[in-house]
Structure 1
Amino acid sequence: MSAFDWGDIQLGRIPLRETFDVAEAGGDTRTLDLDGQESFPPLTRAQVVARHDGINSLTMGQVIPVTFTDKPERNGYYTIKAASSTYTENRGERVTADWKVSLERVGSDAETDLQSRLTGAVRLNDYSSSGERWHAPPIGHYGYYTGSTNPSTMTRASSDGTITVYRSVPANVSPRWGCPPTTYLAGRVRVTTTAGQEVYGADVPLSATDWSLSNGLVNATPSASATLDVQSYSGGAYRSKLWNISVAGSAASVASWDGATLLRNDPEMAIVRLVKGLNPGRATLDLTLRRGSRTVEGYLQVGTAATLAVYRSTLETNTQIPANGYVRASANDANGNRFAIGSARTWVGHANGGILFSSVTVMDFWVGAEVGGTGAVSGDTGLELRNQYFAAMPEAIYGVRR
């Protein structure tokens, strides 16, 4: 519940105060127009800015869940038709965001299927792998339908709850599923910036030194003592592994980034782009995280050929499996897990545990953990995590009448 006992409206991922009227119209389509104001006080300035930016980052034609505290009969899925917000700041006194959003109703969850359009592409790789076609809808989904051929399932414990991952999804099929709007966000990919404020769109500010990319299973963030801290959720907590990323082999790693931006920021997938000046030249790292994934994906680029590497910041005894394209810890760590890292291309192993490419301008990689180590369940072994990475399937979600 909002401050002062106001109701809430959840517009996709954007929380707003329900202190306004809802204008509706019927006809060929059923429209719903909303307007309201967010302000500091009582919110913080950062919250007002985030909601203002989030409204202006909404994508026309996108289908989102919308829920109300005081008007639950209007809960459902809506297509965005128009969105705007006017920002006013009286320095040191007050900040306001007066916003308007026009929506077209698709329907309630009882009458609406959400359809995941999966590309079905397999990442070009040096291992003759066809990948493993997999998919993870929100935690609260139901009625997952792929026609006459059913996929297999597995579950993963996340910080949001238990998420179901569908494996061996049939090719050339766009799965359909239902989900109450109130539970659609559980298990989503989140991007946060300064002070843990969630970022609601892609065209919004992102701190280069204070950000995180998380899906409840993996949390990637900058580290003061390494390039990245990639944390895996197990045993009710995130377990940290520090990684160095270098454009000079083992000679030096990137200690900090000069810029950060978002290429995509949706509940099912987010991409953070990091930039480092090399004086001259620059390095660019794209980090991708998908809903339900145990690994974060990376794509490192430089302008002139160099030795690119990703490796553990401190030596951890490891087993290199070049024939299968990945490296894993040789033994379970104190939390019962084993790190795993690999690439779609042939690599040279790093002594600390990692991969290295000589005289290249690009490097792709994935990094995460075999949660459970030697007791990892089917779907969470290093080879399976590799195959899931090879099945590169960006997802677009559409609302269709059931």
Structure 2
Amino acid sequence: MPKISNKGQQMPESPIRKLVPYAEIAKKKGHKVYHLNIGQPDIKTPDVALQAIKNTDIKVLEYSHSAGFDSYRTKLALSYQKIGLPINKEDIIVTTGGSEALLFAMGSTMDQGDEIIIPEPFYANYNGFATASGIKVIPVISGIESGFALPPISDFEKLITPKTKAILICNPGNPTGYLYSETEIQQLAALVKKHDLFLIADEVYREFVYDEGAKHYSVMDVPGIEENAIMIDSVSKRYSMCGARIGCIVSKNGAVMATAMKFAQARLSPPTYEQIASEAALDTPQSYFDEVIDEYRDRRDTLITEMNKIPGVKIATPKGAFYCIAQLPVKDADDFAQWLLESYDFNGETVMVAPAAGFYSTPGMGKNEVRIAYVLKKEDIVKSAQILGEALKVYQG
């Protein structure tokens, strides 16, 4: 029998999706499953984006430019400039989701065996992207006690080797919801400047900032690191358009962008209809975002209140995005999450969570943690927390 590649064998399973078969079994039993496992917003996609597709009269569905529509990149650059980011059309390549942008960033800056430092826990697919790119993730651990704040810069510096090529952050963070302060971003900027590294920032949750006076600080707005900074962006969460699969890689570094363009040309072009929708989405009124932020803030506050009622649960209050990490009074969150779907229901209902071990690369970390996505309406969040509380009583017993 032909042999599967070592890379394929090393490719990690998604902690977000690997329990889907058990959720399907639970649903076949007639159980209602509350999905806290995946960041799929239930917020309505802006009408302006949907109407743009409906009103399109295309006779031939052609390739677009490998960098994406010129009109979209021009309009996207203007939208960045409106929020103070010095980004021009030439600094942008449109990608098939933020995922492809990350692959382009890694492929353009790192070779086989190179290293990338990432604060953990981190978005689980970073492990997959690194495996696919042949690079090694070097984790620097942040903890629930600090709310998953940036670890001390000295922790980063002692991990830097001749193989180190970049530091990757997600701001605000998935899965933690942590929002990096201006001071923390400046510290990272100084570090990459000192060691001549790239600073890759996944900023797809930029708008989702909740606390009074809190602000998102972009790596694209830090003077002096124009050659170091690479921004990853996406329409998925901003406009509740996860299925559109449109993102972009952004950098002022001409060599990086010229290299990324080679990868873009190799995959030909980003999808056409989705670019049409994404370009139209840039006309979404501010009132849409104001309502969305208010809704997520209420959901966050509801979740934290309800989870704090459960004995033995520790939870860090997120400042942005729509995720949080909860530490549960269990030894194995993977087993508990599977048991919830396979063997438990509370009045015909159960919940699906994402075991957090898959958001770490350090073996043994996150074994008693889960990631919760608060993308459900508030009454469902209350019910989900109630089910978790009752389930923990039975599971511990």
- Fold match by TM threshold 0.5: no
Q: Which has the larger radius of gyration?
A: 1
Q: TM-score, normalised by structure 1?
A: 0.26
- Which structure carries more strand by proportion? 1
Q: TM-score, normalised by structure 2?
A: 0.26
- Which structure carries more helix by proportion? 2
Which structure would you say has the larger RCO, counting Cα contacts within 8 Å and 6 or more residues apart? Answer: 2
